[in-house]
Structure 1
Amino acid sequence: MNSPGSTKERILGAAELLFAQRGFDGASLRQLTAAAGVNLAAVNYHFGSKEKLIEQVFRRRLDALNAQRLAALAKLADDSNRTLEDVLAAYIRPALELSHEGNGALFMRVLARAFAEHDDTLRQFLSENYGHVMRQFTAEFARLLPQLSKEELYWRIDLVTGALTHAMSGFGMIQRKRDVSEETHREQTAQHLIRFAVAGLSHP
Structure 2
Amino acid sequence: MTDEPPAVRIASPSFSTRERILGVAETLFARHGFAGASLRQVTAAAKVNLAAVNYHFGSKESLIEEVFRRRLDELNRQRLASLAVVQAGEPALEDVLDAFIRPALEQSMDAAGGTAFVRVLARAYAEHDERLRKFLSDNYGHVLREFATAFARLLPHLDKEELYWRLDIVAGALTYAMADFGMIKRKGDVTERSHRELAAAHLIRFAAAGLRAGS
Q: Same fold (TM over 0.5)?
A: yes
**1:13-92 counterparts in 2 under 5 A?**
13-79=23-89, 81-92=90-101
Per-residue Cα deviation, 1:19-65 (whole angstroms, up to 9, x for no partner)? 01111010001111111111111111111110110010000000000
- Gaps in structure 2 of 5+ consecutive residues: 1-11
Counterpart CA distance in 1 for 2:146 and 2:95 is 14
The two structures, once aligned, show a CA RMSD in angstroms of 1.4
Tell me the residue number matched to 1:161.
Answer: 171
**1:1-204 counterparts in 2 under 5 A?**
6-79=16-89, 81-102=90-111, 103-204=113-214
Q: Which amino acid aligns with 1:91?
A: F
Comparing 166-175 with 13-22, which one deviates more in the overlay?
166-175
Q: Which amino acid aligns with 2:96?
A: V
Which of the pair has more CA radius of gyration?
2
- Gaps in structure 1 of 5+ consecutive residues: none
Q: CA deviation at 1:169?
A: 1.4
Counterpart CA distance in 2 for 1:26 and 1:116 is 14
Counterpart CA distance in 2 for 1:38 and 1:174 is 40
Per-residue Cα deviation, 1:158-188 (whole angstroms, up to 9, x for no partner)? 0000000001112211121111011111110
Q: Which amino acid aligns with 1:144?
A: L
Contact in 2 for aligned 1:85/1:198 (Cα 8 Å): yes
Q: How many residues align?
A: 201
Per-residue Cα deviation, 1:113-149 (whole angstroms, up to 9, x for no partner)? 1121110000000000000000000001111000011
TM-score of the superposition, structure 1-length normalised? Answer: 0.95
Counterpart CA distance in 1 for 2:115 and 2:210 is 24
SS for the counterpart of 1:97 is helix
TM-score of the superposition, structure 2-length normalised? Answer: 0.91
Counterpart CA distance in 2 for 1:177 and 1:16 is 28
Counterpart CA distance in 2 for 1:25 and 1:117 is 9
Contact in 2 for aligned 1:66/1:133 (Cα 8 Å): yes
Counterpart CA distance in 1 for 2:22 and 2:78 is 22
* Percent identity of paired positions between Structure 1 and Structure 2: 68
Per-residue Cα deviation, 1:86-109 (whole angstroms, up to 9, x for no partner)? 000000000000000122121011
Contact in 2 for aligned 1:106/1:169 (Cα 8 Å): no
Q: CA deviation at 1:9?
A: 1.1
